[in-house]
Amino acid sequence: MGVELATENAGFSEMEDVIFSDTELVCHVRNALRSATMGHYDGYNQLVGVLHHTEYLTPDEVALLVTSLKALSGAVSCIDSGHHESLLSAIFGMSMWNYGPDVMDALVELIVKLAASSGQYTDSCLDMLVSNFTPPRSFVEFLKKPRRKGQVLYHVHSALQGIANLLPLAPLRLEDAIVHKMPNVYSKEPLIVLYVENMLRLESSAMGAVVGGMMLKAVVDMAIELDVKIEWEDILQDDPKGIFEMELEDEETVDNTQQEGDELRIRESSRGKSFWGSEIAEKLDSLLVLMFEHLKKCNDAGRLIEVFEPLLQSFQTTVMMVYKLKFSQFVMFYACSLDPENCGMRFTNTLADIFMHRASPPNRRMSAVAYLASYLSRAKFLSLSFVAEILKRLVGWCLKYCETWDGDINPTAHKVFYSGCQAIMYVLCFRMRSLMDIPCLKSLLLHMPIEAIFNHPLNPLKVCLPSIVEEFLRQAKAARLFTTVSEQTFLFNNNMVESELSRAFGGSEKLDMFFPFDPCLLKNSDGFIRPNFVYWSMARTSYDDDEEGCSNEDVEDFGGSGENIAAWSSEEHDHHFDDDELDKMSITPKNSFLNSYMFGGDLCGSALRMPSRIRPSSSPESSWCTN
Amino acid sequence: MEGLKVSDAKLVVYVHPSKATKVSQAILRELSSLLFKFSEILDGVVLAYDVSTLSEVAKILPGVHPYFGVRLQAKLLLFHPKADMLLEGKVVKLGQQSIHVIVLGFSSAIIIEEDIREEFKYKVKRGEEVFDSASHKRHKIKVGTTLRFLVKSFDEEILHISGSLVPAHTGSVRWLDKNREDWLHADRSSKKRKKSAEREQMWEHNKPIIDASTLSMNTDQSNKKSKKRRRNEDS
């Protein structure tokens, strides 16, 4: 059957024996449809049969399919949901991944016309397009045809836009369809990645104004779902020695391809639960990378602020309230790093406002100030004067609280206050030295009534996390911040991270040990975060230069040549220099195997390698193995 | 244009206690959730509302969550096209088999080939698709034309209208308004004549569609004293 493929012209053209005009084809299909309603199914069944052809189509069959689809587009008004069920299910079951661009074009036209022809088909058409976000079967097959993905996505999204042009309210229905059909956390990683890619593409499209917010929230929700499923224990179940042996091997390899092979070996050696745990981590990693790339694109297009608002909303309602989150919150961190003046400040002010808002539930306030503290300490892109300003606000609030409340230590009753004090101390541990180095900020800091707060009967120094208090006092002493507060009164057991009092104020959610922006351990995501992140090893402390008989002789090296090491350093390689110091500043479990696992051994391997081989270290090599 | 009406309604919105400090915000949010959806109780798609509180005192519901009910008086702009009403919309897509129109910027309408009268012929002129009238040279329908059409049916869920260009008084609004005599003459039958005279009166008013005061003159004003319960969920 010869056909005219391209034009929509109502061709009353030459009637040759072989070529039929478009109108005639449409007529033929209409007749077939009408006869079907009256019980004569021949033409109709033929038509349905053509649509079911998916594999290994010859060019003739492709032409036939294209013609049928085009003819159907002209006959949509004759399609009846009652009599033409099999036809409709054939159409909605078609997947663009199976065909070439010609068929895709024809199918898009048909779907758009069908959606616009009657309200009863709109939802099914939208569902069909959403199903086309991902390929129908094994993904591997389609990886062999890389161009196919680009073509399919282009056609699917242009179809969605086409429908939105004719039915202005369609995007609202589309939103629901997309969220309902999201793959669950147990689906394969490439499927999740591809689906989310589609969602983010919609966000950037013209429809983004309507559906964008919902898309972003749904992606963040999925990230949270994956995040809470990752357990430190899952990975620590592995035989430590086994992994460590792998790690030693990794040290020798530098190039990526080999490294991936080693990762595979590590994964294969893992059993059951921990293997699954690492799959989840990988999915989260890919998801976060997609988000980061999307944010970067939005920033380049100058629309980061638009995208930031729904993210901030989502953060306040979901991310902030889930205390077991490990890495999803870095979406906010990265967004702020792209635009410190607007997004960075907005984020900070939001957190500070939540903390100081009396009507909010206490846990929410504590969570907000924990985020604030971790963010102010770790964000390299924040100006010191801004940090000082926020500190001043916090100190002001704490002082006012002291003046309002009398009475002694009561961890549970004044938990919001204690978390505020701990936040101040935490930020100063990271920033004190830098603040002191700038004269105007130094005087600002010295004028802050911090001492008054710590001397108050509520006694925050006794209640807050001992490791932080100790580090803070050490630095304060070296910087001569206080006159009356003495370090001697607060002698803690060096290995103690928590005390009974701190546990009391932290409560069941352990908000006393909540440092949400501790280093990101997901390999690919970390690459985005690293340039803007302050590692503890990079932070200069106020006692650095004065150090003499310090148990940790290498701290000097870090203090002095901080900049050189900074590019390489990860918190993890501090382990063999000063476990305690490191641990105090991070809740990342001590076990270095977790860290090396997450990094696939390479970064940690090289990190382990560099300082120990370049500098002769007095810490015995065996300290790596023991923990 | 028909199908629009303004209704007065008495409503009660139940507000969650957490929103006690921002009641107006909660009420507006709740009413906004009604927009662009067909409501059976109100008998139409809510397009706009103008709300004021009836009383400063609100009754608190007994129960686990003490919602309190704020009484309101609202003017609602409702859209409910019924069969044989005349509507106007902008043409967004044109094809031999159908014309796609968007009414009031949100409602989609389709007019299929069978419902386009013989007078109009589909042509492609200089790459542009157009429906040309065979009897009246200047009467054209193309993308961007404001079209007046008759309603055949209305899908309340998707807000999709099925329309018709069969009657003589349908077509491009611009041409119809300028050439009233032409299409009036076309309707010779007495019944249609009567209807046309009525319509003529309506066009004389010449006011924009969304002006509520005009509507209250022309269209039915049903003073609906419907009491409606809504729950405002804690967001």
Domains of chain B: residue spans and CATH: 4-79 (3.30.1490), 85-175 (2.40.50.140)
What residues in chain A have their Cβ under 8 A from chain B's Cβ atoms? 8-10, 23, 26, 74-77, 113, 116-120, 122-123, 165-169, 172-173, 317, 359
How sure is the predictor about A461, in pLDDT bands with cuts at 50, 70 and 90? confident
How sure is the predictor about A122, in pLDDT bands with cuts at 50, 70 and 90? very high
Between the alpha carbon of residue A358 and those of residues A268, A353, A354, A464, the distances in Å are 52, 10, 8, 21
Listed residue (B126, B139, B131) closest to B101, CA to CA? B131
- Residue B193 confidence (pLDDT): 53
Between the alpha carbon of residue A284 and those of residues A229, A331, A475, A524, A528, the distances in Å are 10, 12, 37, 10, 14
Closest-CA residue in chain A for B108? A167
Measured between beta carbons, the chain A residues lying within 8 angstroms of B124 are 8-9
Per DSSP, the three-state class of A326 is coil
Residue B188, min C-alpha distance to chain A (Å) = 31
Residue B189, min C-alpha distance to chain A (Å) = 31
Q: Are strands B68-79 and B4-15 parallel, antiparallel or unpaired?
A: antiparallel
Averaged pLDDT, A268-294: 76
Q: Is the pLDDT of residue B230 over 70?
A: no
Taking CB atoms and an 8 Å limit, are A26 and B100 in contact across chains?
A: no
φ, ψ of residue B49 to 5 degrees: the values are -140, 155
- Residue B200 confidence (pLDDT): 60
Angle, vertex CA A532, rays to CA A529 and CA A536, nearest 5: 95
- Residue A225 confidence (pLDDT): 93
Per DSSP, the three-state class of B128 is strand
Q: How far apart are CA A210 and CA B47, in angstroms?
A: 17
Task: Give, as one character, the DSSP assignment of residue A520.
Answer: P
Q: How far apart are CA A536 and CA A530, in angstroms?
A: 13
Taking CB atoms and an 8 Å limit, are A9 and B95 in contact across chains?
A: no
Closest-CA residue in chain B for A173? B158
> A249 or B101: whose pLDDT is higher?
B101
Per-residue pLDDT tens digits for A178-218: 999 999 999 988 899 999 999 999 999 999 999 999 999 99
Per DSSP, the three-state class of B36 is coil
Q: Choosing among A23, A125, A169, which should be mutated to test the B contact, i.e. which has the most B CBs within 10 A? A: A169
Structure tokens at B186: 């076309």
Q: Choosing among A12, A167, A313, which should be mutated to test the B contact, i.e. which has the most B CBs within 10 A? A: A167
- Residue A545 confidence (pLDDT): 63
Closest-CA residue in chain A for B102? A166
Taking CB atoms and an 8 Å limit, are B106 and A74 in contact across chains?
A: no
How sure is the predictor about B202, in pLDDT bands with cuts at 50, 70 and 90? low
**Segments making up each domain of chain A, as ranges:** 2-179, 226-534+557-626
List own/partner pairs for A85-91 with CB under 8 A and 24 or more apart.
A86/A48, A87/A33, A87/A44, A87/A47, A87/A48, A87/A51, A88/A121, A88/A124, A90/A48, A90/A51, A90/A52, A91/A51, A91/A128
Percent of chain A with pLDDT over 90: 44
Instruction: Kindly report which listed range (A57-61, A159-163, A337-341, A552-556) carries the lowest average pLDDT score.
Output: A552-556
Of B36, B100, B235, the CB nearest to A166: B100
- Residue A277 confidence (pLDDT): 67
Measured between beta carbons, the chain B residues lying within 8 angstroms of A117 are 98, 110, 112
Half-sphere exposure of A217 (CA within 13 A, CB side): 17
Measured between beta carbons, the chain B residues lying within 8 angstroms of A77 are 97-98, 112-114
pTM value is: 0.77
Per-residue pLDDT tens digits for A487-509: 555 555 555 567 788 888 888 88
Residue B92, min C-alpha distance to chain A (Å) = 7
> B231 or A389: whose pLDDT is higher?
A389
Averaged pLDDT, A110-139: 91
User: What residues contact B118, with CB distance under 8 A and at least 6 apart?
Assistant: B134
3-state secondary structure A173-208: HHHHHHHHCCCCCCCCHHHHHHHHHHHHHHHHCCCH
Task: Give the type of residue at A22.
Answer: D
Per-residue pLDDT tens digits for B145-183: 999 999 999 999 999 999 999 998 999 999 998 888 777
Taking CB atoms and an 8 Å limit, are B155 and A117 in contact across chains?
A: no
Q: Is the pLDDT of residue A266 over 50?
A: no
Q: How far apart are CA A131 and CA A116, in angstroms?
A: 19
- Residue A182 confidence (pLDDT): 94
Listed residue (B213, B219, B100, B214) closest to B149, CA to CA? B100
Q: How far apart are CA A396 and CA A403, in angstroms?
A: 11
> Are B148 and B176 spatial neighbours (Cβ–Cβ below 8 Å)?
yes
Q: Is the pLDDT of residue A463 over 80?
A: yes
Angle, vertex CA A140, rays to CA A136 and CA A142, nearest 5: 60
Q: Choosing among B100, B116, B160, B164, which should be mutated to test the A contact, i.e. which has the most A CBs within 10 A? A: B160
Of B36, B122, B159, the CB nearest to A10: B122
Percent of chain A with pLDDT over 70: 74
Closest-CA residue in chain A for B115? A77
Averaged pLDDT, A108-114: 96
Structure tokens at A613: 């081989």
Taking CB atoms and an 8 Å limit, are A119 and B97 in contact across chains?
A: no
Residue B217, min C-alpha distance to chain A (Å) = 30
> A214 or A486: whose pLDDT is higher?
A214
Percent of chain B with pLDDT over 90: 61
Q: How far apart are CA A251 and CA A607, in angstroms?
A: 9
How sure is the predictor about A257, in pLDDT bands with cuts at 50, 70 and 90? very low
Between the alpha carbon of residue A504 and those of residues A297, A478, A501, A586, B83, the distances in Å are 45, 30, 5, 20, 70
Residue B24, min C-alpha distance to chain A (Å) = 19
Q: How far apart are CA A22 and CA A343, in angstroms?
A: 56
Structure tokens at A122: 């709109």
Q: How far apart are CA A442 and CA A454, in angstroms?
A: 19
Per-residue pLDDT tens digits for A311-326: 999 999 999 888 878 8
Burial of A168 (0-12, 13-18, 19+ CB in 10 A): buried
Q: Is the pLDDT of residue A412 over 60?
A: yes
User: What residues contact A313, with CB distance under 8 A and at least 6 apart?
Assistant: A213, A217
